[in-house]
Chains A and B, each alone.
Chain A
């Protein structure tokens, strides 16, 4: 069975500092990997995804994540965070490409950016 582990429930960081949110998964088949962000009082929004090809994927707002098959990880990074990045971040996996309906989520990491 698939599972997703986000070890850090909260990550406090000062503005303009770098940040890494960790995500590890377990699966016996090839997977698609996702990061979702949830701002206060809003629904989850897809931040970035890995389906195939280049293992480094980037979002439009400066986040990037790298798929590491040997370490079964998909950590999310940003070199310099902004106050507006404060949100809950969820890592998710699906059995791609044959069962992409079902998303398995991690428990989420709350990123708190301080001025």
Chain B
């Protein structure tokens, strides 16, 4: 199998604080991980692509200083939402590409619901 987990599944934080979301590939090595954001009744929007050991590539319009991505190992990527505001409330989803598989094959985590009060 190819299982991707996310932690936490839900988080509530106060405005101005930072929150970290973890994405782990449990049974495979992930050369690349992707972070998506999903608003209610809208599609998943790619935020950034991260490769192990290098800086993440952010999509246009995504603030890299606000959404810090770290991909320190082949099985873990973290997304830190800094100085969170209510408009950052959303569903964050990560996916991972397995080493040696075609680039279009992505394995998705179950998502993290962030609520900023």
User: Which of the candidate stretches A52-60, A65-73, A76-84, A101-109 sits at the interface with the other chain?
Assistant: A101-109
Contact B32 A43 (CB under 8 A): no
Q: Does B46 sit at the interface, judged by CB under 8 A?
A: yes
Number of interface residues of A (CB under 8 A): 26
Contact A105 B43 (CB under 8 A): yes
Contact A108 B43 (CB under 8 A): yes
Complex: chain A residue closest to B4, CB-CB: A43
Q: Which of A9, A34, A41, A106 contacts B104 (CB 8 A)?
A: A34
Q: Which residues of B contact A46 (CB under 8 A)?
A: 105-106
Contact A107 B42 (CB under 8 A): yes
Contact A90 B107 (CB under 8 A): no
Binding site for A on B (CB under 8 A): 4, 32, 34, 41-46, 49, 93, 95, 102-111
